[in-house]
Chains A and B, each alone.
Chain A
Amino acid sequence: MTERVLCVSSRAPPSPALSWVGRNLAGEGGQVALLVADLEAPPPLSGPVDRTYRVTDPAFDRGRGDHWAAAITEAARAFKPTIVVTGPSKVEQEALARAAAGLSAPVITKGRRVRAAADGVHAERDLLSGNAVGTETASGRPVFVSLAEEPTVTGEAGRPSSATETVSLAVSLPTYRFRRVSMQPKPAQEVDLEAADRIVSVGRGLQRKEDLPLVEALATALGAAVGCTRPIAAESGWLSDDHWVGLTGHRVRPSLYVAVGISGAAQHLVGMRDSKLVVAINKDANAPIFDQADYQVVGDLYTIVPELTRQLTAAKGSR
Chain B
Amino acid sequence: MASNRRWTVAVKHGVDVNLTRADPSTGTIDLAHAPRKTSDFDRNAVEEAVRLREKLGGTVRAVSVGPASSREALRDAMALGADEAVLLVPPAGAALDSRGAAMALAAFLGSPDGGFDLALFGEGSTDHFSGTVGPWVASMLGLPSVCHVRKLAVDGTLLTAFRDLEDGVEEIETALPAIVTVGQEINTPRLPTFMSTLKASKKEVREVSIESLLPPPGGPALGPNTLESVRIPAIPRKRLRVPGSDPAGVAAALIEVLRGEGVGPA
**Main DSSP-derived SS at the B contact region:** mixed
Q: Are A294 and B251 neighbours in the complex by a CB distance under 8 Å? A: no
Which residues of chain A have C-beta atoms less than 8 A from B258's C-beta? 256, 279
A25 to chain B, nearest CB (A): 17
A137 touches B242 (CB 8 A): no
A223 to B262, CA, bound (A): 13
Chain A CB within 8 A of B191 CB? no
- Digitize A226-261: 1 where CB-to-B-CB distance is under 8 Å, 0 elsewhere: 000011001100000100000110000001100000
Q: Which residues of the partner chain A approach B55 to less than 8 Å between Cβ atoms?
A: none
Which of A26-34, A74-82, A182-190 contacts the other chain?
A182-190
Asked if B213 lies at the interface with its beta carbon under 8 angstroms from chain A, I say no
Residue contact A308 to B254, C-beta cutoff 8 Å: yes
Q: Is the CB of A104 within 8 A of B168?
A: no
Known: A128-B17, A181-B172. A186 touches B167 (CB 8 A): yes
B173 contacts chain A at the CB level, 8 A cutoff: yes
Determine whether the beta carbon of A132 is less than 8 Å from that of B135. no
Report the minimal beta-carbon distance from A146 to chain B, rounded to whole angstroms. Answer: 9
Beta-carbon contact of B174 and A91 below 8 Å: no
B266 and A106 contact, CB distance less than 8 A: no
Q: Which residues, 130 to 175 on B, are CB-close (under 8 Å) to A?
A: 130-140, 142-145, 147-148, 150, 160, 164-175
Q: Are A133 and B231 in contact (CB under 8 A)?
A: yes
* Interface residue from B131, B160, B173, B237 paired with A93 (Cβ < 8 Å): B131
Is there a chain B Cβ closer than 8 Å to A287's Cβ?
no
**Which residues in B have their C-beta under 8 angstroms from that of A109?**
129-132
Closest residue of B by beta carbon distance from A312: B265
B166 contact from A90, A176, A224, A307, Cβ within 8 A: A90
**Chain B contacts of A91 at CB under 8 A?**
165
* Structural contact, A291 and B17, CB atoms closer than 8 A: no
Q: Do B240 and A294 have beta carbons less than 8 Å apart?
A: yes
Known A128-B29, A131-B20, A220-B266; contact A186-B168, beta-carbon cutoff 8 A: yes
A94–B173 touching, CB < 8 Å: no
* Nearest CB of chain A from residue B145's CB, rounded to whole Å: 6
| With contact pairs A137-B228, A294-B239 given, residues A100 and B132 touching in the complex (Cβ less than 8 Å) | yes
| Cβ contact within 8 Å between A97 and B237 | no
Is A177 positioned at the interface, with any CB of B under 8 Å from its CB? yes
Nearest Cβ distance between residue A272 and chain B, in whole angstroms? 10
| Chain B residues packing against A (C-beta within 8 Å) | 15, 17-18, 20, 22, 29, 98-99, 102-103, 106, 124, 126-140, 142-145, 147-148, 150, 160, 164-175, 183-185, 220, 223, 225-233, 235, 237-242, 247-248, 250-252, 254-255, 257-258, 261-266
Q: A131-B20, A139-B226 are in contact. List 13 more A-B contacts (CB 8 A).
A: A101-B137, A110-B129, A110-B130, A127-B128, A132-B231, A181-B173, A198-B263, A222-B263, A247-B129, A274-B235, A278-B237, A295-B241, A308-B251
Q: List 7 A-B contacts (CB under 8 A).
A: A106-B99, A129-B129, A137-B227, A180-B171, A255-B262, A273-B235, A316-B265
